Structure 1
């Protein structure tokens, strides 16, 4: 299955606190679909994933977010974990990258606590999304409508609540990338 061949997907994470499965499952899904995942982070080196509160594997950073360009990617994935998006939202380069990515119209997929970074990027007014339940008030205060659903699509935003939603999240991510690619191809003059 390589229907996303030639597509490059950015995964943006902080140095630690990433919920492992929320990074590795979508990563594997885009890889299996033929796309190339790229791990972005504010700092070079490795990032530390977690299985809830226990340290799991480390992953090498491919590129710093400061040196990344939205133009080089077909979609953005924001994995959760509590500490990960909390750290990202204090990094100006990460917040700016997310803001620009949402404005680009390309798919942006955020799961669990990851919408905290979307809140900081100030891109949620009038949008409908889901997240880990504890973010409801934060999201409403940012001008969004929060719903309790497995996966929510609002324009180019794809959101899910937790690791149990990963099958639906991954499926929607792949569909949105393929749809975005088809839309871009159809608008290219022959």
Structure 2
């Protein structure tokens, strides 16, 4: 069983380390996916949180050809990676749908029955590339992208003067910040198991 994690440069290293520890301990392989721009592999670096890029990941799985149903669940890693993955070299014109490979993959993933999708911190930015993906969904996110998420039609949940730590809306599990990564991973895995039970 595999957890697919979308990734690009400037990913959150706290989440990256946690995913690589927790999911294999629970019997899941973690496979990183990205757009490889015609290359067989690309290497991406984490945020330079301490002035140094401390983590690197080499990705060989092309998101454009990946099949969402091959995974037990899909996670969009936090920080600026999802902003990079929604980039498209050309735009067809006003109102045109975003055709970035990762956005197309997300459309396929959302249409896959019982597939759980997890977002954390800034990673709802990939959803914001197409408001049809987010409209009316209850979510949480980093404070500084609340306006992006609301403008894309998402319904952000709050806890006092903060966004909620964790929100589950159907197949979408969202978390506020890397500080809640452990709770996010446990909840995500619980939701995967619940979906598998329904499917069987």
Structure 2 CA distance, aligned partners of 1:101 and 1:33?
A: 23
SS at match of 1:104: coil
Q: Which residue of 2 aligns with 1:115?
A: 124
2:166 aligned to which of 138, 151, 154: 151
SS at match of 1:67: coil
Number of residue pairs the alignment of both structures matches: 177
Q: Which residue of 2 aligns with 1:130?
A: 140
Structure 2 CA distance, aligned partners of 1:93 and 1:125?
A: 21
Deviation at 1:51, TM superposition (A): 4.9
Contact 2:42-2:58 at 8 Å conserved across structures: yes
Contact 1:150-1:168 at 8 Å conserved across structures: no
Contact 2:139-2:169 at 8 Å conserved across structures: yes
Structure 2 CA distance, aligned partners of 1:166 and 1:54?
A: 22
2:44 aligned to which of 42, 47, 53: 47
**Per-residue CA distance 1:123-166 (angstroms, 9 max, x = gap):** 11111100100111111111111121111101111111111111
SS at match of 1:10: strand
Deviation at 1:99, TM superposition (A): 1.6
**Per-residue CA distance 1:73-107 (angstroms, 9 max, x = gap):** 1210111112x111011151111101211222411
Show the 5 A alignment for 1:22-101.
22-43=15-36, 44-52=41-49, 54-82=52-80, 84-91=81-88, 92-101=100-109
Structure 2 CA distance, aligned partners of 1:180 and 1:99?
A: 19
Structure 2 CA distance, aligned partners of 1:35 and 1:149?
A: 27
Structure 2 CA distance, aligned partners of 1:90 and 1:102?
A: 20
- In structure 1, the gaps of 5 or more residues are 1-6, 186-190
Contact 2:19-2:30 at 8 Å conserved across structures: no
- In structure 2, the gaps of 5 or more residues are 89-99, 158-162
Structure 2 CA distance, aligned partners of 1:121 and 1:31?
A: 32
Q: Which residue of 2 aligns with 1:178?
A: 193
2:4 aligned to which of 2, 7, 10: 10
Structure 2 CA distance, aligned partners of 1:87 and 1:65?
A: 13
TM-score normalised to structure 2 length: 0.83
Structure 2 CA distance, aligned partners of 1:128 and 1:51?
A: 31
Contact 1:110-1:160 at 8 Å conserved across structures: yes
Structure 2 CA distance, aligned partners of 1:145 and 1:174?
A: 23
